[in-house]
Amino acid sequence: MKVVIGLGNPGVRYQFTRHNIGFMAVEYFANVLGIGFKSIKSYHSMIARGTFNHQKILIVQPQTYMNLSGKAVKKITSYYKIPHSDLLVVYDDLSLNLGQMRIRTKGSSGGHNGIESIIQYMGAEDIPRLRLGIGKIPVESGIEQSAYVLSRFKKDEREKLDKIVAFSSDAIKSILINGFDEAMREYNKKIECNSKS
């Protein structure tokens, strides 16, 4: 079984904020597969169950709020005995330009509270992840990081967002079908919406 986890904060207040692009990405992927989410309180999550590439898949949106994402992930992985190699965590990264992504099989949290929580609960850094760029904080803005990640995308960014989320769904499919090495070669150098292709 493969488990794809999108990070974000639950509730309408946070629905279209930069911090929730992980939620958006996995929801789009679930829609592609034609499966819907159900609230599973014992897992502190919204979960969509289905099949992809001839194997069972769980698509997860933790409902613990970002800082406690690891609580939900640990609960699910412990129950289903999921090895770290069968996980994929999808989340926002403000060090990357909007439309850019990075696939990694391990690493530190990079200051992201959601992945930091997962690393702490899982007791390891070998957690495969797909980082989605949400745009760097404009230097002249003076905005705090916490306020920036909880802000909504600007109008011109929203016009690109559907395309970016679809692009991330393609990357998820590539990881699940072709493995991490091939997906990294294909997607880590691409920037959606910043090229003519």
pLDDT (tens digit per residue) in 58-75: 999 999 999 999 999 999
Structure tokens at 197: 């292709």
Q: Which domains, ranges and CATH numbers included, belong to the chain?
A: 2-187 (3.40.50.1470)
How much is the pTM? 0.94
Q: At what angle do helices 113-122 and 69-80 cross, to 10 degrees?
A: 40
**What is the edge-to-edge ordering of all strands in the sheet holding 55-62?**
38-40, 45-52, 55-62, 2-6, 87-93, 129-133, 101-104
Tally of CB atoms within 10 A around 53: 10
Query: Which residue of the set 19, 54, 84, 112 is catalytic?
Result: 19
Pairing of strands 55-62, 129-133: unpaired
Alpha-carbon torsion angle 143, 91, 133, 119, nearest 10: 80
Structure tokens at 33: 């597969």
Q: What residue type is assigned to position 124 of the chain?
A: A
Q: Catalytic annotation on 19? A: yes
Tally of CB atoms within 10 A around 190: 15
Structure tokens at 90: 């999808």
Mean pLDDT for the chain overall: 94
User: Do the beta carbons of residue 104 and residue 181 sit within 8 Å?
Assistant: no
- Flag the least confident range among 25-39, 81-95, 113-127, 179-193: 179-193
User: What average pLDDT does the segment 156-163 reach?
Assistant: 90
Residue with the larger pLDDT of the pair 191 and 3 = 3
The pLDDT value given to residue 190: 73
How long, in residues, is the chain? 197
User: What average pLDDT does the segment 13-41 reach?
Assistant: 97
Q: Tell me: pLDDT of 196 over 80.
A: no
The pLDDT value given to residue 189: 78
Q: Which residues of 5-34 are buried (b: 16+ CB within 10 A; e: fewer)?
A: bbbbbbeeebeebbbbbbbbbbbbbbeebe
User: Do the beta carbons of residue 7 and residue 18 sit within 8 Å?
Assistant: no
The pLDDT value given to residue 194: 53
Q: Tell me: pLDDT of 195 over 60.
A: no
Q: What is the DSSP letter of 64?
A: S
- In whole angstroms, give the CA distance from residue 93 to residue 78: 27
